[in-house]
């Protein structure tokens, strides 16, 4: 059922964001603005060594500072919570470091004071004595090293398919996903050509402009956490587990989020805020500076060896992918990224024989988790650079090369899952069309050389997950929606309200969306991986339909055929004799899914839906400086039938801009494990003049038949193609291939210089 | 279905109150403790005249006081809310006085300041110039007077059966309820004896120890009211009506209440708090002193002419009741009291021929509303004094007289409704038994004379009303209950949790009860008239049963026969593959009911259930001082099958103690409409030495077949018999009859003296 067929056109309309007014009037509910009576403030003392045993901690001087309420160490926490280890995939991260530290910046001690400045001051006085241990930083070295970041693996049990890892010792490989499809070895042997390349990506940060914050508040019924989280339901469950409490004693409330991008997922500061609030029996605020976010959660650096067997006419017959994920010191959701993205590492191509190994590796770096794309941009970077190189080697046009191999609906993906509702070909063709690929292209001249590139990627959705929604209609017919989806700027509240309004024939603007509060809003796995529109959207639709059905029952009880015969308020008066009562609808959605076989990685239903994104780029390289100017960028995605076209367009451009940063400039620099540019002064996110002169964003006309009103995920798809499209365009312009991100002017300049030298030598 | 039959004995167990711990540890959530950033404080300037036109208001001096943000008059409010009149039964009360004032203490102007002391100070500087009008204070005079408190009647429309009053002019009679059963005139003519008496009660106050408070807070989505209210759902609807908003823009949150007793019902300070918050665009706190409560809501003073036709052997064959309710200047719920209690004015007796007139009268006194008993104690005071006098005249033992006439199940009450589940006879007999009525009784001697008395009353429940409840089970099996019933000390949270636990075979102590918050907890008419245990109790039971059914469905989906086969947490894991999801049950309850005929007052189903309470008293009168010492009090009630015996017992004793105050000491004294004892120093509530030496409370073994697990209302029944039982015992002791409340030592002394004089004269 698509928008077009609906009567009251709430869905498909570019409704203004419901929350905009509150943001421009300063009424937006950010956790940072919350002040609780008697609230205490904190400063975290962080590790100065990458790997070391904690010999001694001296907190006496800090305790003497007037206004300091407590100085808490990991051991203090352990007295209160005997097993103080948390994490979504592994229970490997202590609330405060215990026995040893595993990266520079790890939380070791926390000072709690009446005022944040006092806490800062006192934190300077804490002295920690370490016995340094050898450290490992590179994912490849770490995989082989006998320096172990953790003594043993501790899968959380959240995901049954990780249970087999329990208790494995003496390894830094947290998870090793492998997939085999067809007979890759045989196919490689028979291939006309075999191409092999290695590509790497750097460690970067999410940079939400609202820094992370969690406030713990002891209450009459247990504990309330006010937290800038993307996953209130998960926090509730994880905190309850840590405390040994039932879920209903833990209340998690989120406000509006100033960005998340995966940084505020699962559990971060909440465990510390909860422990401190209960230990000190007072509200305690744990808020990070921008700098501290660099030490809290990041995006995986990766190394990707990719090898393809190709026929002379350009058909890819075999592909071997070997992906190494640098997970840092704690697993966070890394193992899940490794798995869930791993199985698409061969790209959106129809390849009969595929072999994939994807390994999450512990190192002594800040932890890496999920960042807009859940690992996909790293994979696309490699396979779309790789295919471009192959095309050039074989003298085939890069677009043509992709056309020859593109994965079409009805054909099996590497897991064996038959593709459906995946407009891969359509996205590729539409991108080419908007790039006028077939038309002649001005390559520039002299020191200003122009090139163009194209790249396409796809992504599966995380599964299995559950979403529950509730719709409540008051006696005057006004309607409230209860959903634990967190609006961090993506306008999910507006989109969900549109779905309710569509089903109940109301105006979106009149729907009241109740913010996530685990005492109120039902369970949702999390706001991540572009799952909300599809998963929560379906749950919301079911809840609204349940309410509609109950309204119709009510109508029949009072002798009407259906609810729409009279104004809703009349319906209630007829039934209850006055303005009284509610109609409450509930919807629960779990998508059909079959988890891939542990050995072969095969599944006949590996994902609830596919996300597709392609990018075309035209750019100019200054051969004297290596500076790259983006002239034009075309982003085309398949995100089903848009619920809110305007919002969808801003999501496409936003994701692409973010990926431009990861492509051209952003990188966390390290010196012996110490981040040397942990500030927005030194860590360069894109500014306006880094953006393309012309940027075009388009959603192809598509439909996710299983999605709410044909819709599916939107937030990540345009991150996929950006990096390789740019690298491909640079090669098109100046003939050099950049295989490591970021593509800084220096990197381009050095590549050009090296090429020139080779040319000279050859003379 | 009664407790005994249940497997897991949650119901019928004296579970400790769930909220006690929070109260003794200071964690109880009282609205008074709430501090919002930027919250402003208020002081109300009140009328100094009982009836007068507002000529002019000078607020300039007050405005000049540093820290004053605004000084608001009724006209200012009217600019913001064109029709600023509110009320549950009539829309007759302005947020601040408009054009004229109708009683001393009426709110005329409000000062809003950054600090409460500044507001107090500035309020002194406001000058209001009145043109005084003649005033009426007595309900009988007011009914005849041509001085009109209101120009016309404005029924709210909330209750369809009041619609006929719209626009009636030139009367102080707000509502005139009448009932005729059988042929009273004929029966009176044929009676052997006709007895006629008049009894009066005084105006008193509820005296909740937590004074009234409401805080208005503008929010991104409209308005939140934090208020100590017994009726959050009603407040939401009424505020939405005043503002012309949908319900879902108004959020009403209540904390724990430090008593209510009807004072905090419907809408009181909320309208002013809402208007100020929106006019000033800031959180505004309106909190009353104990003194101000005397000017806000009270209990009706009444005059009751009662006439009975009796056969020589003591059968009452006809009764004529003429009840006048002094409603004060604004109707509040008075008209409802007049109706809903009016039809039981003939008492719990089997009388073939009955005539009742019950009139709510406007006067220039502080408004009267509902106070623990909803008018019943005033009625019982009259009809149980009356029957005692008749018994004495006829030389029949008072108990015997009642036995002859008692109303039994299966017989019609004055409305024609056939009595069911009403243990009237049982309550009477059990009271007599515990009083050893048949045993000889020591009447004392000299100046210390002893007497005993007995009295019984009954009450109908307010109808029609609706209650909605919701039960939410989290993935670990922990359970939360959402109910808008307000716990003001009656332990409703505990009782409701017991019902949920009983149905779902959980432990009551593990149920999380979510406090009333109209964004979260579904609709409930209000917490009043002992309706919650029955109405909300039934809704909660239905909600829990709905959840249970859904759990069983879930069980079947995962191949089990029913949910109890495995721990609940396992059920969710089987279904969702991890700790995920919710099961949400909803229950809506509306009792069967037929509103009495407007002309005849007849109905075949006049109430959802009956409440019965009897009191026996032994006392000693000091004939020299008139001081009355209560030696023993026995309170026996029919409240169905107790859900929580311990709580039930404290409710019985609490209600009786409260009524002792209204019987022996409490009275609001007036001088030209001015309350002259508006403070707890001068207004005397009972202290420990005013209580009986021995107090016995008992619930007879009964069952309300339509109630949750056989239960029904508890909170008021033991207020019924207290006053007449005491008056009857005094006459038994010293032979004088007190017919006006309160029975002060002075009143008793004067009655004894008058009797002595009459005796002397007769010599």
State pLDDT tens for residues A547-581.
Answer: 999 999 999 999 998 888 889 999 999 999 889 99
Kindly state the DSSP code that residue A71 receives in the 8-state scheme.
Answer: E
Active-site residues of A, by number, are 716
Q: Is residue B348 part of a domain?
A: yes
The answer to whether A283 and A55 have CB atoms below 8 angstroms apart is no
Across all residues in chain B, what is the average pLDDT?
Answer: 95
State pLDDT tens for residues B284-317.
Answer: 999 999 999 999 999 999 999 999 999 999 999 9
Question: Which residues make beta-bridge pairs with B454?
Answer: B616
Surface-to-core class of residue B112, CB atoms within 10 Å of its CB (0-12 exposed, 13-18 middle, 19+ buried): buried
Alpha helices in B294-420 (DSSP H): 334-342, 376-394, 398-405
- Out of A159, A248, A474, the one facing B247 most closely (by C-beta) is A474
In chain B, residues with a C-beta closer than 8 Å to the C-beta of A474 are: 246-248, 523
pLDDT band at B159 (very low <50, low <70, confident <90, very high): confident
Asked if B549 has any chain A CB less than 8 Å from its own CB, the reply is no
Asked if B32 has any chain A CB less than 8 Å from its own CB, the reply is no
Q: Is residue A6 part of a domain?
A: no
To which H or E segment does residue A428 belong? helix A424-434
Phi-psi region of B421 (alpha: psi -120 to 50; beta: other; left: phi over 0): left
Q: What is the 3-class SS of A192-241, one letter each residue? A: CEEEEEEEEECCECCCCCCCCEEEEEEECCEEEEEECCCCHHHHHHHHHH
Active-site residues of B, by number, are 716
Q: Flag if A576 and B464 touch (Cβ within 8 Å).
A: yes
> Domain span at residue A716?
298-462+597-755
Residue A681 C-alpha, separation from nearest chain B C-alpha, in angstroms? 34
Establish how many alpha carbons lie within 13 A of residue A613's alpha carbon, considering only the half-sphere containing its beta carbon: 36
Domain boundary among A589, A605, A628: A589
Query: Which chain B residue lies closest to A595 (C-alpha atoms)?
Result: B577
Q: Flag if A21 and B220 touch (Cβ within 8 Å).
A: yes
- What percent of chain B stands above pLDDT 90? 93
Calculated CA dihedral for residues B565, B570, B573, B576, nearest 10 degrees: 30
| Shared-domain flag, residues A51 and A126 | yes
In chain B, residues with a C-beta closer than 8 Å to the C-beta of A584 are: 468, 470, 522, 584, 586
- Out of A219, A511, A580, the one facing B525 most closely (by C-beta) is A580
Query: Which chain B residue lies closest to A473 (C-alpha atoms)?
Result: B248
| Shared-domain flag, residues A624 and A579 | no
User: Which pLDDT belongs to residue A626?
Assistant: 97
Instruction: For residue A445, give the CATH number of its domain.
Output: 3.30.365.10
User: Which pLDDT belongs to residue A164?
Assistant: 86
| Shared-domain flag, residues A453 and A480 | no
Q: Is residue B647 part of a domain?
A: yes
- Which chain B residues in 204-233 lie under 8 Å from chain A, judged by CB atoms? 218-221, 233
Asked if A520 has any chain B CB less than 8 Å from its own CB, the reply is yes
Asked if B669 has any chain A CB less than 8 Å from its own CB, the reply is no
Surface-to-core class of residue B22, CB atoms within 10 Å of its CB (0-12 exposed, 13-18 middle, 19+ buried): middle
Handedness of CA B387, B388, B389, B394 (dihedral sign): positive
Q: Determine the length of chain A.
A: 763
Q: How far apart are CA A200 and CA A385, in angstroms?
A: 11
pLDDT band at B7 (very low <50, low <70, confident <90, very high): low
Q: Is residue A292 part of a domain?
A: no
Residues of chain A with pLDDT under 70: 1-7
Q: Is residue A149 part of a domain?
A: no
pLDDT band at B163 (very low <50, low <70, confident <90, very high): confident
| Shared-domain flag, residues A429 and A314 | yes
To which H or E segment does residue A307 belong? strand A301-310
- What percent of chain A stands above pLDDT 90? 92
Asked if B577 has any chain A CB less than 8 Å from its own CB, the reply is yes
The answer to whether B105 and B298 have CB atoms below 8 angstroms apart is no
To which H or E segment does residue B754 belong? helix B745-762
User: Which pLDDT belongs to residue A284?
Assistant: 98
Distance of CA B174 to the CA centre of its chain: 20
The answer to whether B306 and B321 have CB atoms below 8 angstroms apart is yes
Angstrom distances, CA of residue B589 to CA of A142, A312, A474, B523: 64, 76, 16, 11
Least confident window among A137-141, B159-163, B183-187: B159-163
Across all residues in chain A, what is the average pLDDT?
Answer: 95
| Shared-domain flag, residues B565 and B518 | yes
Query: Which chain A residue lies closest to B218 (C-alpha atoms)?
Result: A27
Query: Which chain A residue lies closest to B157 (C-alpha atoms)?
Result: A578
For residue A598, which of A178, A184, A183, A181 has the smallest C-alpha distance?
Answer: A178
Q: Is the pLDDT of residue B350 over 60?
A: yes
| Shared-domain flag, residues A271 and A346 | no
A14-32 as b/e: b if 16+ CB within 10 A: ebebbbeebeeeeebbebe
Q: Is residue B141 part of a domain?
A: no
Q: How far apart are CA B443 and CA B91, in angstroms?
A: 54
Q: At what angle do helices B492-504 and B535-557 cross, to 10 degrees?
A: 30
Q: Flag if B476 and A581 touch (Cβ within 8 Å).
A: no
- Which chain A residues in 157-196 lie under 8 Å from chain B, judged by CB atoms? 158-160
Domain boundary among B287, B306, B321: B287
Q: Flag if A476 and B520 touch (Cβ within 8 Å).
A: no
Question: Which residues make beta-bridge pairs with A102?
Answer: none
How many Cβ atoms are within 10 Å of B307's Cβ, its own excluded? 18
The answer to whether B225 and B273 have CB atoms below 8 angstroms apart is yes
Q: How far apart are CA B538 and CA B608, in angstroms?
A: 12
User: Which pLDDT belongs to residue B2?
Assistant: 33
Q: Is the pLDDT of residue B158 over 80?
A: no
Q: Is residue B406 part of a domain?
A: yes
Q: Flag if B576 and A586 touch (Cβ within 8 Å).
A: no
| Shared-domain flag, residues A405 and A523 | no
| Shared-domain flag, residues A581 and A700 | no
Q: Token digits for A614?
A: 């392609």
- Out of B22, B465, B470, the one facing A584 most closely (by C-beta) is B470
Q: Is residue A187 part of a domain?
A: no
β-bridge pairing A284-287 and B628-638: unpaired
Chain A and chain B share a number of CB contacts under 8 A equal to: 141
User: Which pLDDT belongs to residue B528?
Assistant: 94
State pLDDT tens for residues B485-532.
Answer: 999 999 999 999 999 999 999 999 999 999 999 999 999 999 999 999
In chain B, residues with a C-beta closer than 8 Å to the C-beta of A472 are: 522
| Shared-domain flag, residues A95 and A223 | yes
Number of folded domains in chain A?
3
pTM of the model: 0.92
- Out of B514, B523, B584, the one facing A581 most closely (by C-beta) is B523
| Shared-domain flag, residues A526 and A603 | no
- What lies within 8 Å, CB to CB, of A567 at 6+ separation is A477
Q: Determine the length of chain B.
A: 763
| Shared-domain flag, residues A469 and A606 | no
- Out of B248, B464, B584, the one facing A474 most closely (by C-beta) is B248
Residues B221-227: what's their mean pLDDT? 96
Asked if B70 has any chain A CB less than 8 Å from its own CB, the reply is no
Q: Flag if A246 and B522 touch (Cβ within 8 Å).
A: no
State pLDDT tens for residues A182-203.
Answer: 999 999 999 999 999 999 999 9
Instruction: For residue B274, give the CATH number of its domain.
Output: 3.90.1170.50
Asked if B6 has any chain A CB less than 8 Å from its own CB, the reply is no
- Which chain B residues in 724-743 lie under 8 Å from chain A, judged by CB atoms? none
| Shared-domain flag, residues A730 and A622 | yes
Domain boundary among B571, B589, B607: B589
């Amino acid at each position: 059922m698509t928008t077009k067929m609906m009567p009251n056109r709430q869905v498909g309309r570019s409704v203004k964001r419901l929350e905009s007014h509150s943001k421009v009037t300063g009424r937006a509910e950010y956790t940072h603005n919350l002040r609780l009576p008697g609230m205490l403030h904190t400063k975290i003392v962080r590790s100065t060594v990458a790997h070391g045993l904690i010999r001694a901690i001296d907190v006496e001087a800090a305790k003497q500072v007037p206004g300091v309420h407590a100085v808490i160490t990991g051991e203090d926490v352990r007295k209160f919570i005997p097993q103080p280890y948390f994490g979504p995939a592994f229970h490997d991260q202590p609330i405060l470091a215990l026995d040893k530290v595993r990266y520079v910046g790890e939380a070791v001690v926390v000072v709690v004071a009446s005022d944040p400045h006092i806490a800062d001051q006192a934190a300077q006085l804490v002295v920690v004595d370490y016995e340094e241990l050898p450290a490992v930083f590179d994912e490849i070295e770490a995989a082989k090293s006998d320096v172990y970041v953790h003594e043993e693996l501790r899968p959380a049990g959240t995901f049954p398919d990780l249970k087999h890892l329990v208790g494995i010792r003496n390894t830094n490989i947290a998870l090793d996903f492998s997939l085999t499809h067809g007979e890759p070895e045989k196919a490689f042997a028979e291939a006309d050509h075999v191409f092999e390349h290695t590509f790497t990506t750097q460690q970067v940060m999410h940079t939400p402009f609202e820094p992370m914050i969690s406030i713990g508040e002891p209450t009459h019924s247990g504990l309330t956490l006010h937290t800038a989280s993307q996953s209130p339901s998960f926090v509730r469950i994880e905190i309850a587990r840590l405390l040994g409490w039932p879920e209903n004693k833990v209340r998690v409330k989120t406000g509006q989020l100033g960005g998340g991008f995966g940084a505020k997922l699962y559990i971060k500061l909440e465990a510390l805020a909860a422990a401190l609030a209960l230990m000190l029996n007072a509200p305690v605020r744990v808020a990070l500076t921008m700098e501290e976010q660099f030490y809290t959660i990041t995006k995986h650096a990766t190394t990707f060896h990719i090898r393809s067997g190709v026929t002379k006419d350009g058909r890819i017959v075999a592909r071997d992918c070997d992906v190494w994920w640098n997970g840092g010191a704690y697993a966070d959701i890394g193992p899940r990224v490794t798995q869930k993205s791993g199985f698409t590492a061969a790209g959106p191509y129809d390849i009969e024989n595929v072999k994939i190994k994807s390994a999450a590796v512990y190192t002594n770096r800040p932890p890496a988790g999920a960042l807009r794309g859940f690992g996909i941009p790293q994979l696309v970077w490699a396979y779309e650079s790789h295919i471009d190189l192959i095309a050039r080697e074989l003298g085939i046009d890069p677009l043509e090369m992709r056309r020859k191999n593109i994965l079409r609906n009805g054909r099996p993906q590497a897991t064996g899952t038959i593709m459906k509702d995946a407009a891969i070909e359509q996205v590729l063709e539409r991108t080419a069309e908007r790039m006028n690929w077939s038309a002649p292209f001005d390559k520039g001249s002299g020191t200003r050389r122009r090139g163009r590139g194209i790249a396409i990627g796809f992504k599966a959705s995380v599964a299995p997950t559950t979403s529950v929604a509730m719709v409540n209609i008051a006696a005057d017919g006004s309607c409230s929606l209860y959903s634990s989806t967190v609006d961090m700027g993506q306008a999910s509240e507006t989109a969900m309200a549109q779905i309710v309004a569509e089903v109940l024939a109301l105006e979106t603007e009149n729907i009241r969306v109740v913010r996530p509060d685990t005492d109120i809003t039902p369970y949702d796995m999390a706001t991540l991986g572009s799952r909300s529109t599809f998963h929560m959207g379906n749950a919301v639709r079911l809840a609204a339909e349940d309410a509609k059905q109950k309204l119709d029952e009510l109508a029949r009880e009072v002798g009407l055929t259906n609810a729409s015969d009279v104004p809703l308020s009349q319906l209630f008066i007829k039934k209850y004799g006055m303005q009284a009562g509610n109609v409450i609808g509930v919807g629960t959605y779990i998508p059909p899914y079959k988890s891939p076989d542990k050995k072969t990685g095969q599944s006949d239903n590996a994902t609830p839906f596919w996300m597709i994104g392609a990018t075309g780029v035209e750019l100019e390289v200054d051969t004297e400086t290596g500076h790259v100017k983006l002239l034009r960028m075309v982003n085309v995605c398949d995100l089903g039938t848009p619920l809110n076209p305007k919002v969808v367009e801003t999501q496409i451009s936003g994701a692409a801009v973010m990926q431009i940063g990861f492509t051209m400039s952003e990188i966390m620099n390290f010196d012996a494990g110490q981040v040397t540019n942990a500030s927005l002064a030194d860590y360069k996110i894109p500014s306006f003049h880094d953006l393309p002169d012309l940027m075009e964003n388009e959603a192809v006309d598509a439909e996710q038949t299983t999605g709410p009103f044909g819709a599916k995920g939107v937030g990540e798809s345009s991150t996929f193609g950006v990096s390789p499209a740019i690298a491909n365009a640079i090669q098109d312009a100046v003939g050099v291939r950049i295989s490591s991100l970021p593509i800084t002017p220096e990197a381009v300049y050095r590549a050009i210089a090296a090429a020139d030298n080779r040319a000279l030598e050859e003379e």
